[in-house]
Amino acid sequence: MSALVTGDAVVLELQPAKLPSRALAVVIDLAVVWTAYILVSIGLALATASLDEAAVMAVSIATFLLVLVGAPIIVETLSHGRSLGKLACGLRVVRDDGGPIRFRHALVRGAIGVVEILMTFGVVACIASLVSARGRRIGDVFAGTLVVRERVPATRGMAVPPPPPWLVGRFSELDLSGVPDDLWLAIRQYLTRMRQLDPAVSWSMAGRLSGDLAACTGAPAPAGVPPAAYLAAVVNERQARDARKAFGAGHRTPQDRTPDERTQQDHTQQDRARQDGATPQRVAPGGDVPGAWEGAGVTGVGVPGAAVQGAAQTPPATGFAPPA
C-alpha cells in the first residue's frame, strides 16, 4: 500500500498498479487506438486522393496527433483517469494527493507518452516503472500522477474483539479528544491481529500501546487490568460515542444495558445454543467468555499465557470485581 496525503491532511492508503497490469492496460489501449487510427487513415486516404502530396502529408500528421495523442488525452480527461484498458484491468490514474486528474495532467502524460511508449515501444516506460518505488513512468513523474488499483481483492474483515463485559462502560468519563488517529489505527490493527502474534510479543505491544493511550488521555491505565483488555475497552467506548453521535442520544449501546439485561442476554444465547444442539460456552463471572482472549499472548481476559496455567478454565484475578 502507498500512503498518499490529501490537501486536508488525510492519509489515503492506495495500492499502486504493478507493471504487468499496467502493460496489459497499455496494450488494450494501443490496440483500440491503432485500430481507430488505421480506419481513419484509410477513410482520409480515399477522401484526399485528389490532393497534392503536401496536403496529404499535413492531413496524415494531423490524423496522427489527433487520434494517437489527442484521443487518449481526451478519454483520460473525461473519464477522470480511466481509459478503456485501465477500466478493463481495474486501474485508474490519480493525482499525487489521491484526487482525480484534470486536462493538464492527462496532457503531460500523453505528450511524454509519445516518446516513452510510441517511439520506444514502451521500453523507456517499463524501465522507469521498474526503477520507481510506486511504479511511475516518466510521464507520471512530470504530471504528478500515480496509477492505482481500483479493484483490490476482497479480504475477510477482522472485527475488533469486544472487551470483557465487566470493563464495558468503565471508561465513559475518559477524555479521548487528545488521542491521534494514527494511535487509534495502531490499536485497532493490534486488536484484530493479536491472536496471530507470539504471546510475549503480543503482551509487549499491548503494554506499549496502553502506555501511549494513557499518556494521550491524561489518565493512567487502571492497575490490574490487562493491557489488551484495557485497549479493547477504550476502543469500545469510542465506538459507542461515535454511534451515539451518528444515531442520536437515544441509541442504546452495549454499555447502556444494565447488568440484569446483560445476564438475560447471556442466558438467551445459551438457550439458543442448546436448541441448536451445540454445547453452550460457560460464562465466567461478569459475563466474560473464557477463551475469548486466547491467542495473542493473553488467555482469559489478557493475562500473559506463559504466566498462567489453565487460564482458559479459570478467569485470572485482575484486581477488579465484576459487576453484581
Neighbours of 25 (CB within 10 A): 22
Give the DSSP H/E element, type plus range, for residue 130.
Answer: helix 123-131
What pLDDT score does 162 carry? Answer: 83
Q: Backbone phi, then psi, for 32, in 5-degree steps? A: -70, -45
SS3 16: strand
Give the distance from CA 127 to its chain's centroid.
29
Q: How far apart are CA 136 and CA 93, in angstroms?
A: 11
The residues, any chain, with a CB within 8 Å of residue 136's CB and separated by 6 or more, are 16, 128, 129, 145, 146, 147
Instruction: Please report the pLDDT score of residue 35 as a whole number.
Output: 94
* pLDDT of res. 109: 93
Q: What is the DSSP-derived secondary structure letter of residue 322?
A: P
**What pLDDT was estimated at residue 279?**
44
Which of the residues in the chain have pLDDT under 50?
A: 1-3, 5-11, 155, 251, 255, 278-292, 294-324
Enumerate residues 6+ apart whose C-beta is below 8 A from 267.
none
pLDDT of residue 33: 92
